[in-house]
Amino acid sequence: MSKSSSPISCRATCSTRMTVLGLFQLSALAVSVSACASPLNIQQEAPAGIAQENEVVIVQPGAPGKANKTLSAQDATKIASTSYTIDDVLFMQNMIPHHGQAVDMAVLVADRTNNKEIIDISGRIEKSQADEIAFMRDWLEQRSEATDIDHSMHMDHSLMGMATGAQMKLLAESSGVDFDRLFLQLMIPHHEGAVRMVDDLLSQPGSAYDPVLYDFVNDIVNDQNAEITRMNGLLANLSSDPRVGLKAGFHDPDVAMSNIELVRSLPRPSGFFDPENPSNLPPVIMPDQAEEADSNRENETGGDAKTEWGERWPLLSFWNTDMAFSKDLMIAGNYHGFNIYKLDNEGLPSLASSVVCPGGQGDVSIVGDLLIMSVEQTRGRVDCGLQGISEDISRERFRGLRIFDISDITSPIQVGQVQTCRGSHTHSIVSSDDDSIVVYNSGTAGVRDEKELAGCIGDIPGDDRTALFRIDVIEIPVKAPQNARITSSPAVFADDEGRLSGLWRGGDHGEGTQHTEWTDQCHDITVFPALKIAAGACSGNGILLDISEPLNPVRIDEVSDPGFAYWHSATFNNDGTKVLFTDEWGGGTQPRCRASDPKTWGANAFYDVIEGKMSFQSYYKIDAPQSDTENCVAHNGSVVPVPGRDIFVQAWYQGGLSVIDFTETADPTEIAFFDRGPIHAERKVIAGFWSTYWYNGKIYGTAILRGLDVMELQVSEHLSANELAAAKLADMGDTFNPQQQFEVTWPVEPVIGLAYLDQFDRDGGLDKANSTLARELLSQVQVMLDENKSDKQLATSLQKLAAALRTNNNNLNSQKRITKLKELLQGLASRLV
């Protein structure tokens, strides 16, 4: 482009798309800091025939009390058109060594691996980032800015994702697969750091006004994100886990499972999915909706041009959510209402009725003939209408707890409502009798306008009436549910001085830690009425509550974690001596189980509970890397009632389900899993298991889009036939509600003792002679019980063995098992007399 060309305005130059390096190579063109937003300082001349304006004095006022300055036209232009800022300069100065380290890592590849894909991507990184370093140096030099500075004063290496010196040394000393894995583990966060640096730059006022710089930083984001996706795939493929690389598909994905069997799958019922788009894909852009894609554009593998997708995603109107059980009923919540299933003698469900009542999230609990459902969305209506509500303030809006009479499961009737200031995201049944039901309500949405619901005060500084930092205690009269009401809204996060916001205030915990949400709400509160305690997963903290007085919960302990983004749910073990918290990093909609994601973020955290205080022990996160199109993070689960062990079945959205043994809280171990491929190979679609729960010998899972699954655990090296049989005999009560736990008991049967003995044989703790004797006696007991006979001599032998049994180690779990085994032997002896 020559100076004799037609005049080009700076804005026209901004809109002209040129590659950064192409512009860099136009060295014949003058570049000046004093130019307008374009780095091309093209002199603009008035077209022939147009008269110039009369020149006048240009004045620059001084500060108050100071004299004015007179400026030339050239000086005025310099001041008025700033083409870059100090933030732009610092970005370039910091990005040079950042790119330099990437080049240093890439250079190591050739001599340390023969993995073609690693060699290919490292070659791309080495060339592209070396070229970009040259561009950044030239950009700075043309503006008389330093290219080499003391970066220790400006760079936060952890935020920038840069490797430490020790990590670089370890990489240089590695080779083969070990090198491949470490290279990717370092390069992925390094690229993510570059993207964060760009985000930080663009958040600064006036930054990247220079169109060349703007194009440059956007090229960085696009290129680095594409390489991150590719490297995540390469890193995942280094894993031998069968869950890695499963074929995508809504109806026919690949499936991987271990020590578990899929018994039945049911799709979402009619009326609870969009028949024209059951897989919730975003809309495809048709040729008449956008410019036709360049016919020469190909995807990264050299195939046809990629499908163009719109950004408008289907509403989450039809997502399956949580579920509850009572006797032979299972009720699955949904953003659109709920579905009632009857369970046959084998625990297999069949649809009994569907109830449309939109409002989400649709979490449900059952108490007798009453169903309680959480509603939080602003589209929820008092009358369960489908039309939603468009007004900011409306008497027709409903957000809170709905109450249904389900005595006739074919036609549930809404019999009560409790409006709340923040809606109801989840709720917990704390206590119930013939007269009343006490519920803790957790609202996580914004506070409603007081004009819509009296008493709803938002975030007004100094106003302690605010609906933030509270839970709602709701009482429902069983015989008059229409009179249900909020009895109090205790400030369970207050500190000793009475400040409502007494716990975590939001933000990170220091260099390299997670950004944790502000503690102004609880997501889940799991109550254990028999033990008079509750565990709250409350956005920025995990808390322990004393619920001796259900209407007046009192916080007795709290913990925080530098790796938790959002404390989501909590589950106790059977005796309340351990509690498991989950972290919903990314809100459940993001891929947070990729090979490069931290193992302590989006994970479970296990705590021992000792005299009312929680003591951290370990983390657990599934070890199967998931793809960029699979939302995955720790989510809902329940205890699997194997006597003598603490086992948890858990949903991980599109990470499938995992069965975890946390008997040793310092060393949780996966013992079974089930996983499907993603919904779509290219697009991230929110799907997977919302909840997975054990109920009467089966594992049930609500899949957000695919429907309902029923599974059974299988005998394996991790779970014996006796343990599995004992679990199926467990008495967990005739009702299962999320966020409510009852103490599990087991009948006095020989198989329970055999389960304990299998555990001693696997883990140690009992000498072989006593184990053998116990098995012989239990076998004889089973014969006597089957024949309905008594045997005093056998009973005496059982009592003697019980008195003599001792563990041969100091392990606390072994001591608990031996105590339970002795109690069981004494109980069997009583049955034989």
Q: Which DSSP string do the residues of 624-648 spell out, in sequence order?
A: S---TTS-B---BEEEE--TTS-EE
Question: Does the pLDDT at position 154 exceed 70?
Answer: no
Q: Per-residue pLDDT averaged across 327-352, rounded?
A: 97
pLDDT at residue 155, as a whole number: 54
- Residue 594: pLDDT over 80: yes
Q: What is the mean pLDDT of residues 358-370?
A: 96
Residue 212: strand, helix, or coil: helix
pLDDT value of residue 512? 80
Give tens-digit pLDDT for 461-501.
778 999 999 999 999 999 999 999 999 999 999 999 989 99
Residue 118 has pLDDT above 70, yes or no: yes
Q: What is the pLDDT of residue 83?
A: 74
**Is residue 795 a contact partner of residue 827, using CB atoms and an 8 Å limit?**
no
Cα–Cα dist 145/809, whole Å: 69
Task: Summarize pLDDT for 689-746 with one digit per residue, the tens.
Answer: 999 999 999 999 999 999 999 999 999 999 999 999 999 999 999 999 999 999 999 9
Rounded average pLDDT over 791-808: 96
Checking if the pLDDT of 225 tops 80, the result is yes
How many CA atoms lie within 13 Å of 767's alpha carbon, on the beta-carbon side? 7
Mean pLDDT over 203-220 rounds to 91
Mean pLDDT of 178-204: 94
- In this prediction, residue 59 has a pLDDT band, given cuts at 50, 70 and 90, of confident
**pLDDT given for residue 545 in this prediction:** 98
Q: Are 379 and 388 in contact (CB under 8 A)?
A: yes
- Reported as a pLDDT band with limits 50, 70 and 90, residue 20 is very low
Strand partners, 674: 257, 657
pLDDT in tens, 396-433: 999 999 999 999 999 999 999 999 999 999 999 999 99
Give the residue-averaged pLDDT of 3-13: 34
Q: What is the predicted pLDDT for the residue at 42? A: 39
Task: Please report which confidence band the pLDDT of residue 309 belongs to, taking 50, 70 and 90 as the band edges.
Answer: low
Q: What integer pLDDT is reported at residue 241 of this predicted model? A: 93
Q: What is the mean pLDDT of the chain?
A: 89
**Angle between helices 176-202 and 165-172 in degrees, nearest 10:** 150
Q: What is the pLDDT confidence band of residue 56, given thresholds at 50, 70 and 90?
A: confident
Confidence of residue 64 (pLDDT cuts 50, 70, 90): confident
The domain 80-237 belongs to what CATH superfamily? Ferritin, core subunit, four-helix bundle (1.20.1260.10)
Among 75-84, 649-658, 673-682, name the one with the lowest average pLDDT: 75-84
pLDDT tens digits, 266-294: 999 999 999 989 999 877 776 655 444 44
pLDDT at residue 2 is higher than 50: no
Distance of CA 41 to the CA centre of its chain: 50
Q: What is the pLDDT of residue 54?
A: 60
So what's the pLDDT on residue 60?
83
Q: Which of 652, 670, 672 is nearest to 661 (CA)?
A: 670
- Report which of 438, 440, 458, 273 is spatially closest to residue 363, judged by C-alpha positions: 440
Decide if pLDDT at 560 tops 70: yes
According to the model, what pLDDT value does residue 614 have?
98
**pLDDT of 148 strictly over 50:** yes
Cα–Cα dist 73/680, whole Å: 60
- pLDDT tier at 211, thresholds 50, 70, 90: confident
Q: Is the pLDDT of residue 607 over 50?
A: yes
Sign of the torsion formed by the C-alpha atoms of 670, 676, 680 and 682: positive
pLDDT of residue 39: 38
Q: Give me the residue spans of the domains in the chain.
A: 80-237, 750-832
Cα torsion 309, 310, 314, 315 to 10°: value is 140
Model pLDDT, residue 741: 97
